[in-house]
Amino acid sequence: MCITESIYGWRPRCVLVVSTGGGGDVATASVLAEALRRGGVEAVVAASLWERFVRDPEPGPIPLHSIVGAEPVAGGAAARLHPGCYAVRGRILEPGACRAAGLLRGLAFYALDAWGGELALRRALEEIAGLHGCEALLDVDVGGDVLAEGREEGLWSPLGDSLGLAASANTGLPGVLGVHALGADGELGEEELLARIAAVAARGGYRWIRGLDRSDLELLEEVLKAVETEASRIPLLAARGAYGWLEIRGGTRRVRVTVYQAATVFLGLREAYEATPTARAVAGTSSLEEARERLNSLGVYTELDLEEDIHPLLELGLLTPERLLDARRAGRRRLGAPKN
């Protein structure tokens, strides 16, 4: 049975696969897109270019106008990525989506511009779907923090995920959220994630659980040679027999590695959106700054806040894991986030 029949209940001709979290999530999104193609369904990948600050020290996602080798669409809110594309943003770097586009040439890849807020992201997704005749949408998150309520102690990156979930849910396309590798990003804990999934399931949002198969794992291993990501690597390690605690992000986070992280939990996109207050909060925003302000007003410290707070240290080459954690604690206190 094709994946689409299990998660949608029917077989669309084309699925728009959306990776709207960190830049490394495109690795998993690409693997799932290829799994759809093996089942006879066309797939198109759209990804946010928000790279980790160790790769791109400038705060916020990579603006589309800084990408060389991209063709603007959707009034500039998205761009089709061509093999060999790269970004110039104070330095030359290859976003994960550019590397994936160079490796998987049978897939069409698009970059999304989160600087325009939820409304621009939504319009971009609708236009990309229209260009390719995509009849359904699959929003992909690695780790599960997309389901966060916003003030969890371990939450690091609520802004990009909230925008992606809101924009995907509000396109009107039949949609599913694929939460892959629970806890692999070292943010929400297993119990927190299971509780959030249960909240979505209580709304009728459970669709399916699927494990990576042999073909997925072989492709993921190849993709990870090109795309730099720690979270999307965890499922491969788990499938190869790794078990126990692993430090990531320079020792600032810990992940409990188990074979369950080789699985994707599929949830109804509308039900997930309605159960997630951070996504609802950023709906209708017309800029990244407006979305950030809405989350800040709820006491939510975002990845944009953190990147701005540590940027002076990065510029001087003085950022250490300890100073990173100190900056995050100070930022959370500033917004009144609850203490651990």
Segment 33-77, tens digit of pLDDT:
999 999 999 999 999 999 999 889 999 999 999 999 999 998 889
Task: Say if 318 falls within a structural domain.
Answer: no
Report whether pLDDT(338) > 70: no
Q: What is the CATH number of the domain that holds 277?
A: 3.40.50
Task: Say if 116 falls within a structural domain.
Answer: yes
DSSP 337: P
* Mean pLDDT, residues 156-160 taken together: 96
| Model pLDDT, residue 74 | 80
* Mean pLDDT, residues 177-191 taken together: 95
Task: Say if 245 falls within a structural domain.
Answer: yes
* Mean pLDDT, residues 263-278 taken together: 98
Task: Say if 289 falls within a structural domain.
Answer: yes
Give the whole-angstrom CA distance, residue 285 versus residue 291: 6
Query: Concatenated DSSP letters for 179-223?
Result: EESTTTTSSS-HHHHHHHHHHHHTTT-EEEEEE--HHHHHHHHHH
Task: Say if 92 falls within a structural domain.
Answer: yes
Q: Which residue has the tokens 């203490």?
A: 339
Q: How confident is the model at residue 317 (pLDDT cuts 50, 70, 90)?
A: very high
The H or E element that residue 322 is part of is helix 321-334
Domain that holds residue 175: 3-299
Write out the two tokens for 106: 């049978």
| Model pLDDT, residue 174 | 98
The H or E element that residue 321 is part of is helix 321-334
The total domain count for the chain is: 1
Report whether pLDDT(340) > 60: no
Task: Say if 211 falls within a structural domain.
Answer: yes
Task: Say if 75 falls within a structural domain.
Answer: yes
Q: How confident is the model at residue 336 (pLDDT cuts 50, 70, 90)?
A: confident
* Mean pLDDT, residues 167-179 taken together: 97
Give the whole-angstrom CA distance, residue 18 versus residue 22: 12
Give the whole-angstrom CA distance, residue 304 versus residue 268: 28
Task: Say if 323 falls within a structural domain.
Answer: no
How confident is the prediction for the chain on average, in pLDDT? 95
